[in-house]
Amino acid sequence: MSTNLLPKLTDFTAFTDAMPDAAQRDQFVTVLNWVTTTFPQLTPRFAWNQPMFTDHGTFIIGFSVAKAHFNVALEAAPLDYFREQITAGGDHTTKMLWQINYDGPINYDLLTTAIKYNLTTKKDVTSFWRPKGH
């Protein structure tokens, strides 16, 4: 897959083009395209050296890359909420990230649920990050 298939994600093209492994780049681009297609109301944004998506100015989900996996950032509260489901599906978590191996399957059902959770629980949030205790 070519990154020129990212018409809505032009801000991410330089980032994805810099990924040296073509198979990893294709998988990562596929995930970014999936988010854009599945949640067209989200606004793509590149900040803190990572592609992310916002809704009404608040953070919903972000992505970063590593050598053997890519990371999904959800914020601490939703990550803690979904941690057991993430690890039960074979993925790993750190204190702040959901790690998906490039050579493994992507749990799109759980990604959908996590994004919907953030959209629902942050619908009235006016700050970029989730307020403490929210």
- Write the pLDDT tens digit of every residue in 23-77: 999 999 999 999 999 999 999 999 888 999 999 999 999 999 999 999 999 999 9
DSSP-assigned beta bridge partners for residue 53:
44, 61
Q: Which domain holds residue 15?
A: 3-121
How many residues are present in the chain?
134
Cα–Cα distance for residue pair 35/70, rounded to 1 Å: 15
Q: Are 25 and 16 in contact (CB under 8 A)?
A: yes
Domain membership of residue 132 (yes or no) is: no
Structural domain contains residue 127: no
In a domain, 63, yes or no: yes
Number of domains in the chain: 1
CA–CA gap between residue 132 and residue 134 (Å, rounded): 5
Distance in angstroms (rounded) separating the CA atoms of residues 74 and 5: 25
Task: Indicate which CATH number applies to the domain containing 45.
Answer: 3.90.1150.200
Q: Does the reported pTM lie above 0.85?
A: yes
How far is 25 from 109, CA to CA, in rounded Å?
A: 21
Give the tens place of pLDDT for each residue, 90-112. 999 999 999 999 988 999 999 99
